[in-house]
């Protein structure tokens, strides 16, 4: 864990809608025609019509609900334009500091069964041409970390707006909906121990799409 884990990857006044945090009105897809949204989902699907986003949503949900795991929904953005390369470098540095703090507290409090941190990341460009990241972060007793401290770490590194919330299960399809968009290869980026533990086959509507 610690730096090795992080190395596996890199004050704004905005409304919740501006930064994409408002998930209360979330629907299956914001890109489907109205008549398609009313169609029944394919057999075995719970979130999306297509198998790729359906499987990603299920994998994120699985990552959030593993035994003894807690999960956060995080949004990180920037005050001004930064390149994609620099944005991911800053994100990597932020994850390193979070991972270091988590590992230190796990040792101090002798927390057993800690399996490190897990995360799924979606990148989005705001209308003002600034990147922001949506993240699901999970781990055993994740709440030993201060959410406000993680927000302050991001702004202290030169980032902009940061918000960390306890994640509800609605966050899984919310993040998965970014699959296939035209940025960062249109993919969800996975990190931490979730990269090395194969999810159960039962989470996938198409077994070949499981991200292991």
Cα 196 to Cα 7, 115, 171, 212, distances in angstroms:
15, 11, 22, 7
Instruction: Report residue 38 as tokens.
Output: 């009313």
For 78-117, write each residue's pLDDT tens digit: 988 999 999 999 999 999 999 999 999 988 988 777 778 9
Longest distance between any two alpha carbons in the chain, whole Å = 55
From the options 3.30.70, 3.40.1310, 1.10.3470, 1.10.30, give the CATH code of 2-11+45-209. Answer: 3.40.1310
For 160-185, write each residue's pLDDT tens digit: 889 999 999 999 999 999 887 644 55
Q: What is the pTM of this model?
A: 0.76
Residue labelled with tokens 């994998």 = 59
């Amino acid at each position: 864990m610690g730096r090795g884990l992080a190395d596996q990857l890199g004050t704004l006044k905005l409304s919740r809608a501006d930064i994409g945090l408002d998930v209360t009105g979330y629907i299956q897809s914001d890109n489907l025609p109205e008549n398609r949204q009313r169609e029944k989902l394919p057999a075995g699907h719970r979130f999306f019509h297509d198998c790729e986003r359906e499987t990603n949503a299920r994998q994120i949900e699985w990552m959030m609900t593993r035994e003894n795991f807690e999960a956060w929904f995080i949004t990180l953005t920037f005050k001004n334009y930064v390149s994609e390369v620099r944005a991911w470098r800053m994100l990597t540095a932020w994850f390193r500091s979070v991972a270091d703090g988590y590992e230190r507290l796990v040792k101090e409090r002798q927390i057993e069964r800690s399996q490190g941190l897990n995360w799924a990341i979606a990148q989005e460009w705001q209308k003002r041409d600034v990147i922001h990241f949506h993240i699901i972060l999970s781990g055993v007793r994740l709440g030993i970390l201060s959410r406000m401290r993680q927000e302050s770490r991001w702004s202290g590194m030169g980032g902009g707006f940061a918000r960390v919330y306890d994640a509800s299960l609605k966050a899984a399809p919310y993040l998965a909906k970014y699959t296939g968009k035209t940025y960062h290869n249109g993919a969800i980026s996975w990190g931490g121990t979730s990269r090395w533990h194969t999810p159960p086959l039962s989470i996938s509507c198409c077994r070949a799409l499981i991200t292991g």
